[in-house]
Amino acid sequence: MKCMKKLSDLLILMMISSVLAGITGCSTVGYYSQALSGQVDVLSRRESIEMLVDDPKTNEELRHRLANIVKAREFAVNTLHLPDSASFTSYADVGRPFVIWNVFATPELSLKQKQWCHIFIGCFSYRSYFSEDGARTYADELEQEGYDVYVGGVAAYSTLGWFEDPVYNTMMRYSDTEMAGILFHELAHEVINVDDDTAFNESFAMAVQLEGTRKWLEHINEPEAFKAYKQDQQRDEEFVSYIMQYRKQLEKMYALDISDEARRKGKTEIFKALRENYKQLKASWNGYKGYDNWFKRKLNNATLAPIGTYHHYVPAFVALLKKQGGNFTRFYEAANEIARMPKKKREQTMKLLVKVPTD
């Protein structure tokens, strides 16, 4: 059965490859070629988690981590009512620190994210590469065209149900709690995928990740882990709120009827304040250094893009879950109803969710 499934996956990839070869131009053939070869490589590396856990040759730490993944996946299916697909029943060591690298791009004087559309899977506000060199080469090209760019490594991703996604070695850098959250996040992508709204998709998955992790820690009854998670979540919410505050300042400034020179000056001042005032936020955390690396990078419009994408609608989705009495099945149904709306109505509905009482 395992060999038959791998053959089925490869046949799907061959079909997609042949279709793309007939409809894409030379400029995109290279991109799709690396995407297809990268996906084939990932699929070829999969090993059954059940077999690895039972194999006495498996490294003891890896065995322990995978056993926890099995329990978290069971919880995802039985309690969070996420899809009981074959995703995350296998493990793949891709031999690198990240499985893919995403390229984000915005105009120099705008926060509007560049979109990339792909046959079969829709449009996204980032472009993914299976090699860091490929991602950075493309980012350099965009930068030469005048875009603000950001390249970020990704530890896991979802193929939206097209293939049986594995647990990656790249996820092992995270704690058991964080890995469970990533699993909930990626399985959530199999519930909803709107082909023209990355922020909606990612915010939905992030809401499931956050609420699912909270329930998971309650379920396994680990008070100290739950306490640490709540503290991390609180800091994360404060960090996101802090960044979004400066995003709003940039949006207002870019919308002013002023010269581009004035916009550039305003942009420089806002990013300078973003860096300097972080010291106060850090002090409120008693010197916690978890976000220091984020501020060490070159900050521009594109570096703010992932934060806006992954967190934009999270408060609205949390409110929607509360409105459904914490019932995840009804929550998915309600979220899917909104997902089917035209984009403008969808945006209006999400805004209203955080403006009205939910109980």
Cα–Cα distance between 313 and 210 in angstroms, integer?
13
Residue type, 139: A
pTM: 0.85
Whether 16 shows a pLDDT value over 70: the answer reads: no
**pLDDT tens digits, 237-283:** 899 999 999 999 999 999 999 999 999 999 999 999 999 999 999 99
Q: What percentage of the chain exceeds 70 in pLDDT?
A: 91
292 within 8 A of 239, measured Cβ to Cβ: no
Contacts of 246 (CB under 8 A, 6+ apart): 270, 271, 273, 274, 304
Look at the alpha carbons of 31, 35, 40, 42 in this order and tell me if their dihedral is positive or negative.
positive
**CA angle at residue 33 from 32 to 35, to 5 degrees?**
60
5 within 8 A of 43, measured Cβ to Cβ: no
What is each CA distance from 332 to 56, 74, 127, 192, 327, in whole angstroms? 40, 18, 27, 8, 9
Whether 109 shows a pLDDT value over 70: the answer reads: yes
pLDDT of residue 10: 45
DSSP 302: G
By three-state DSSP, how is residue 157 classified?
coil
**pLDDT tens digits, 155-206:** 999 998 889 999 999 999 999 999 999 999 999 999 999 987 888 999 999 9
**pLDDT tens digits, 284-337:** 999 899 999 999 999 999 999 888 777 889 999 999 999 999 999 999 999 999
Domain boundaries, the chain: 2-197, 224-353
202 within 8 A of 185, measured Cβ to Cβ: no
Closest alpha carbon to 9 in 71, 92, 81: 92
Number of neighbouring beta carbons within 10 Å of residue 6: 15
